[in-house]
């Protein structure tokens, strides 16, 4: 496949998809849901091939759980499509309607972004979710999934694409990339691809960000903090810290660094160490932390410069701070602006933290693991953004649209307004 | 000045500015307006030095008009600040308030972007406008103006900065860069600068876009089109085309390419040539256009590949198209997604054009020169964006904010929702 020519064709067909009605897009989504069920035999057979290859490659049970596409995953995927159908049309929303002058009317209307490239991990359900989110929002999408589910992806893509085109969506509404070198070609398509959403390892996302002129939405690092204030309720703190670390250790919203108010360190840290060890988590920390914990191992002793570490493993960094102010400074310096939580019963301290921490998500008394489109009630997400432009945090349908200005006149020229012959009156309608 | 250390300090002070109330920010703006008037003698004297240097450097009268900062410009600048004070606070707006579960409440709240670098042309009024827009929206700003107004910029910056700090805004809310090499340092501050807004020549903006990892908002090219449909009203068409070309030839929203429906070419083109020549505009075009115009000069004959040219001069490209469909394809291929206009009395043809042209502004029967924050009633603008992410078109206060999610819990952990012990109920409050 020639990625550049595919991207060019998509770009030219993107306005056609953008012009479809929500009825057409919903009809296509319904047809996709039905086609997935009708072809489930072939889909499961393809997935069986991928699972056998995974066995041959001695893939871990945890990863195999993600590669698997069975009746349960199909049911969830189809339910997700039906939920998407029930959501209101994100397109054509009138964001502004203003009369600039008599017979000169300005509209600001929501429109799709256009052509989006999504590069995602080896999870067949992600292909279904991403392609249906893009179609609902009227965006053409180039999809590149993980190679470990190549067979499953191929049949899923075929079924979804054909159902959509059968219902009248343009041929190039969805394109699949299968080869790794096609990613590099995709990165050079800055004239035709409006947005890239890479998901996967830090190193991979950083590579994408550093090697393209196309805007990138997503996150490389997920260095999330929990600050245990002197007014924290220990009974809440331990379950939250354990959940945030081990409920899904490899997730971007798992906690990496625990900041503890110095006043409670003596009482809190030994208990934290005990409870964390019970669930297999090792604590690392600064000299004073190690001293309180009675740990003189060299590998657990941390230098300041190490606090930017994302373990994605059963390890956590621990540091003492004077107060919430120092906690905020630490987070704004070493964090990745993803999600950070304060544990305190003091509303004033919490208010300061939530105002001053410069992250997409700031939490009080709950686990950082809540940072997720499904848990926010967005239905689904294409990713989580740590950037501040456009969408921030979990990105659902809202993050896949932009807007355009439409101005309807009757022959007006700017010269008449510059000379004072005409003047604007700005009335919102 | 060490730009990297300045940017670092701004980044750390940005949450302090973000936490100010709108009353504090408005009080600072009022103090700035008063200080500008109180120091007008020094300001005009500094401007006089810049104007004398311009004379020595034989700067053209058109450019000198922009360099000049006199009573009129001061009055407009001060009026702009008062208008900004009257606008509602863009910060702290509740964009979502949702109960995810009992005692687990999610808020989506508007917040400033943080640290913004603005590099702008030699226009002293731009410095006043940009700094006041940034302060109203709670953003720290690094300001680098054109060197031709160095003396004026220096005193304006001093007056504005000191008035803001006097009213309690943080010391590093505004920083001025004066040396060209500081721009390159600024480009490397991707950890601390959240957004760059470059204004100026295409080559300069393209240089910025290609040499930084910081997100850039703005536009390099402004290749705007006007399509004259077969159902166009010629009485409207000629004034619009002339206004769009000559009212401010060097502006990004001036028209560069005129597309004409083939059916009317014989009647329209000779008249267009005559009227354009009267105002000093030269037409270039394809072979068939030149034939109709009876022009056999080689310099006016255009190859297809030349239609991406932005003249910013008294020259326009002309091409014939079969219909509105071909016009849209031409614009989506050769345009810069800035602003494009159709001249037609046929609402169906106009509707097709405005739906299918993939630009920030799509117009019917008016001049492309209307693409401007002031003319849209936004009060002021920091620039015009041809990108599709975040802000598009003229960018005012709305484009200088993002949002953060705040989640308030009472000890909730994700494990309880994953196991089915708890479940989300998603109620918007």
pLDDT of residue B250: 84
| Mean per-residue pLDDT over chain B, rounded | 94
Look at A405 and B19 and tell me if their CB atoms are within 8 Å: no
Of B236, B244, B377, the CB nearest to A100: B377
Contacts of B278 (CB under 8 A, 6+ apart): none
Is the backbone of residue B58 left (phi > 0), alpha (psi -120 to 50) or beta?
left
Of B243, B407, B426, the CB nearest to A366: B407
- Does A250 or B77 have the greater pLDDT score? B77
pLDDT of residue B20: 97
pTM of the model: 0.90
Within 10 angstroms of residue A294's Cβ, the number of other Cβ atoms is 9
- The bridge status of strand B104-112 relative to strand B401-412 is antiparallel
Token pair in block for residue A45: 């057979």
- The pLDDT tens digits for B138-158 are 999 999 999 999 999 999 999
Of B247, B354, B404, the CB nearest to A406: B354
- The CA-CA-CA angle for residues B74, B75, B77, to 5°, reads 60
Helices (runs of H) and strands (runs of E) counted in chain B: 15, 16
Mean pLDDT of B355-360: 96
Q: How far is A42 from chain B (nearest CA, A)?
A: 30
Q: In A, which residues are within 8 Å of B247 by CB distance?
A: 413-415, 418
Q: Which of A136-145, B170-179, B195-204, B345-354 has the lowest mean pLDDT?
A: B195-204
Q: Say if CB B201 and CB B316 are below 8 A apart.
A: no
Q: How many alpha carbons fall within 13 Å on the CB side of residue A213? A: 13
Confidence of residue B387 (pLDDT cuts 50, 70, 90): confident
Return d(Cα A362, Cα A352) in angstroms, integer: 11
Of A248, A357, A407, the CB nearest to B363: A407
Look at A408 and B376 and tell me if their CB atoms are within 8 Å: no
pLDDT of residue B53: 95
- Chain A CA closest to residue B343: A411
Burial of A315 (0-12, 13-18, 19+ CB in 10 A): middle
Of A235, A247, A414, the CB nearest to B243: A414
A&B contacts, CB < 8 Å: 235
- Chain B CA closest to residue A329: B12
Of A15, A209, A412, the CB nearest to B356: A15
Look at B19 and A356 and tell me if their CB atoms are within 8 Å: yes
Burial of B216 (0-12, 13-18, 19+ CB in 10 A): buried
Q: Say if CB A360 and CB A337 are below 8 A apart.
A: yes
Mean pLDDT of B92-105: 95
Confidence of residue B47 (pLDDT cuts 50, 70, 90): very high
Token pair in block for residue A210: 């550093």
Which residue ranges make up each domain of chain B? 3-95+110-218+387-404, 224-370
Look at A409 and B376 and tell me if their CB atoms are within 8 Å: no
Q: Which uninterrupted H or E stretch holds A400?
A: none
Return d(Cα B90, Cα B111) in angstroms, integer: 8
pLDDT of residue A382: 86
State the complex-level ipTM: 0.90
Q: Which uninterrupted H or E stretch holds A176?
A: strand A174-177
Q: How far is A200 from chain B (nearest CA, A)?
A: 20
pLDDT of residue A381: 83
The string of DSSP letters for A263-285 reads: GGHHHHHHHHHHHHHHTTPEEEE
Look at A407 and B362 and tell me if their CB atoms are within 8 Å: yes
Is the backbone of residue B272 left (phi > 0), alpha (psi -120 to 50) or beta?
alpha
Mean pLDDT of B396-420: 93
Q: Which of B60-64, B248-252, B282-286 has the lowest mean pLDDT?
A: B60-64
Mean pLDDT of B181-210: 90
Confidence of residue B179 (pLDDT cuts 50, 70, 90): confident
Low-confidence ranges of chain A (pLDDT < 70): none
Contacts of A55 (CB under 8 A, 6+ apart): none
Interface test with A, best of B358, B361, B374, B379 (most A CBs within 10 A): B358
Q: Say if CB B69 and CB B124 are below 8 A apart.
A: yes
Question: Is the per-residue pLDDT at B345 higher than 90?
Answer: yes
Which of B367, B323, B90 is closest to A410 using CA atoms?
A: B367
Q: In B, which residues are within 8 Å of A403 by CB distance?
A: 392
Fold of B3-95+110-218+387-404: Aldehyde Dehydrogenase; Chain A, domain 1 (3.40.605)
Look at B388 and A355 and tell me if their CB atoms are within 8 Å: no
Q: How far is A41 from chain B (nearest CA, A)?
A: 29
- Chain A CA closest to residue B15: A356
Look at B414 and A247 and tell me if their CB atoms are within 8 Å: yes
Which of A215, A127, A205, A252 is closest to A399 using CA atoms?
A: A215
Confidence of residue B25 (pLDDT cuts 50, 70, 90): very high
CATH 3.40.309.10 fits domain B224-370:
yes
pLDDT of residue B101: 95
Interface test with B, best of A247, A338, A388 (most B CBs within 10 A): A388
Q: How many alpha carbons fall within 13 Å on the CB side of residue A396? A: 17
Within 10 angstroms of residue A2's Cβ, the number of other Cβ atoms is 9
CATH 3.40.50.300 fits domain A3-218+387-405:
no
Question: Is the per-residue pLDDT at B401 higher than 90?
Answer: yes
Q: How far is A113 from chain B (nearest CA, A)?
A: 6
């Amino acid at each position: 496949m020639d990625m550049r020519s595919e991207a060019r064709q998509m770009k030219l067909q993107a306005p056609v998809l953008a012009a479809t009605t929500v009825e057409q897009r919903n009809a296509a989504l319904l047809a996709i849901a039905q086609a997935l069920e009708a072809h489930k035999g072939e889909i499961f057979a393809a997935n069986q091939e991928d699972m056998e290859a995974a066995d041959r490659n001695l893939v871990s049970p945890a990863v195999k759980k993600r590669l698997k596409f069975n009746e349960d995953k199909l049911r969830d995927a189809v339910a997700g499509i039906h939920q998407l159908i029930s959501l209101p049309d994100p397109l054509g929303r009138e964001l502004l309607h203003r009369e600039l002058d008599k017979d000169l009317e300005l509209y600001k209307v929501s429109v799709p972004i256009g052509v989006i490239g999504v590069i995602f991990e080896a999870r067949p359900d992600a292909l279904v979710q991403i392609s249906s989110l893009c179609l609902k929002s009227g965006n053409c999408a180039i999809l590149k999934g993980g190679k470990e589910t190549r067979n499953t992806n191929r049949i899923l893509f075929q079924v979804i694409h054909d159902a959509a085109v059968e219902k009248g969506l343009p041929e190039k509404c969805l394109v699949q990339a299968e080869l790794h070198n096609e990613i590099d070609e995709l990165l050079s398509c800055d004239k035709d691809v409006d947005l890239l959403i890479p998901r996967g390892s830090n190193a991979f996302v950083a590579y994408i960000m550093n090697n393209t002129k196309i805007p990138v939405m997503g996150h490389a690092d997920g260095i999330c903090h929990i600050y245990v204030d002197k007014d924290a309720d220990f009974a809440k703190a331990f379950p939250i810290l354990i959940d945030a670390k081990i409920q899904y250790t490899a997730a971007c919203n798992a906690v990496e660094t625990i900041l503890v108010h110095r006043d409670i360190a003596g009482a809190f840290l030994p208990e934290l160490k005990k409870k964390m060890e019970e669930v297999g988590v090792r604590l690392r920390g600064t000299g004073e932390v190690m001293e309180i914990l009675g740990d003189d191992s060299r590998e657990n002793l941390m230098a300041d410069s190490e606090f930017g570490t994302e373990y994605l493993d059963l390890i956590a960094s621990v540091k003492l701070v004077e107060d919430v102010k120092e906690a905020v400074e630490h987070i704004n310096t070493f964090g990745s602006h993803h999600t950070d939580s304060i544990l305190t019963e003091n509303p004033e301290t919490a208010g300061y933290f939530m105002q001053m921490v410069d992250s997409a998500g700031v939490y009080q008394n709950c686990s950082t693991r809540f940072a997720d489109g499904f848990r926010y009630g967005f239905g689904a997400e294409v990713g989580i953004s740590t950037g501040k432009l456009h969408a921030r945090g979990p990105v659902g349908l809202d993050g896949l649209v932009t807007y355009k200005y439409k101005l309807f006149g009757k022959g007006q020229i700017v010269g008449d307004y510059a000379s004072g012959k005409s003047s604007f009156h700005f009335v919102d309608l």
